[in-house]
Amino acid sequence: MASSSFQPPSFDASDFLSIGDRLGGKRIDNAIERTRVSSIPIQGAQSGGYAPAFAHLSHIPLFPLYHEKQNIALEKQEYRKQQQLQYVKPPMQQSAGTKLLFSVMSLLGGGGNPMSVAKWENRLKGVGAVQMQKSMEQSHSLVFTRWSLPPSNGQDVVFVDVLEWRANHGAAVYIKVSRQLTFRTVGKEKELKVGKTWSKRFLSGEKGRCDAVSLLEGVEERELVVVARIERPCAGLEARESLKVFEKEWVVPVVVLG
């Protein structure tokens, strides 16, 4: 006779009383404990540089994608996380008999299981710490691109500096220029003065990619080319700090030939 795969039902009390844990509680507990032993992640490595056609301009500095203000933001978040974890107890471990006793008591008393309530109250406190840890993960991107007109003898160099924050759930484009001009990018046309910042935020990361910039001069529109591009993975916290630095502190270099 062929063997049957039928398994008789279990009458172990723990199989009935830990159903809530198996549906999500255990995963939350594990995430909290991983957060407890985690620290600030290693910052992502930078890649990119100057395009070969503009190698003669490589002595001109690009916007730094690493900044002390990023480190300060990460350290503050780590401190807040550790403070939050002080109020989160390690997962409570009870035997099947203890679980059964609490369940019977709650049924007889007509109330909720106090053990289960305490567990979920503790988990709610821990979820905040988990989110703080996630906010430090290198799951976003910073991209800095310097745009200009194609190389031309005797013509002053025009720089359009663009800093992008890219993420799955959104994006932002920040732009500064080396002289007053009108440009078109990401479907927008804008006249911009030196020292001012134009910015645009997007709910979709793909729609917010700055893949082309053109210079508008009267009826003429001239496509700009990439002088240099650098990028790095970063945390959302780091991206916010970089956008602030770009807007408030960054000065686009001015190059005059001849």
Residue 70 lies in a domain: no
Quick check: 145 and 246 in contact, CB under 8 A?
no
- Whether residues 187 and 235 share a domain: the answer is yes
Q: Is the dihedral of CA 214, 217, 220, 222 positive or negative?
A: negative
The DSSP 8-state label assigned to residue 56 in this structure reads G
Output the pLDDT for position 66: 97
Identify whether residues 52 and 168 lie together within a single domain: yes
pLDDT digits (tens, 9 = 90+) for 15-54: 434 444 554 678 888 888 898 888 899 999 999 999 999 9
Q: Is 94 exposed, middle or buried (0-12, 13-18, 19+ CB in 10 A)?
A: middle
Q: Specify the pLDDT at position 191.
A: 96
* Co-location of 51 and 167 in the same domain: yes
Phi and psi, residue 105, nearest 5°: -60, -40
* Claim to verify: residue 142 and residue 243 sit in the same structural domain: yes
Reported as a pLDDT band with limits 50, 70 and 90, residue 6 is very low
pLDDT number for residue 119: 77
Please check whether residues 101 and 32 belong to one and the same domain: yes
Whether residue 248 has pLDDT greater than 90: yes
- Residue bearing the bigger pLDDT, 91 or 209: 209
Integer-rounded Cα Rg, in Å, for the chain is 28
Residues 51, 33 share a domain: no
Is residue 6 one of the residues assigned to a domain?
no
Cα 157 to Cα 254: distance, rounded to the nearest angstrom: 8
pLDDT tens-digit map of 141-179: 999 999 999 877 556 789 999 999 999 888 999 999 999
**Per-residue confidence at 116, pLDDT binned at 50, 70, 90?**
low
Mean predicted confidence (pLDDT) in 104-120: 55
Which pLDDT belongs to residue 90? 79
DSSP 8-class letter at 23: I
Q: What's the pLDDT at 153?
A: 58
* 191-239 pLDDT tens trace: 999 999 999 999 865 667 899 999 998 889 999 999 999 999 999 999 9
pTM across the whole model: 0.78
Nearest to 122 by CA among 151, 160, 65, 84: 84
Token digits for 256? 């005059």
Same-domain status, 186 and 111: no
What is the average pLDDT score of the chain?
Answer: 83
Higher-pLDDT residue of 250, 127: 250
Range of the domain at 175: 47-64+137-248
- As given in the structure block, the two tokens for residue 201 are 């935020």
Average pLDDT of the segment spanning 116-136: 83
Residues 114 and 241 in one domain: no
Q: How many CB atoms lie within 10 A of CB 2?
A: 4
Q: CB 56: neighbour CB atoms within 10 A?
A: 9
For the chain, how many structural domains are there in total? 2
Assign 150 to helix, strand or coil.
coil
C-alpha–C-alpha distance, residues 74 and 136, integer Å: 7
Backbone angles phi, psi at 213, to 5 degrees: -140, 135
5 inside domain: no
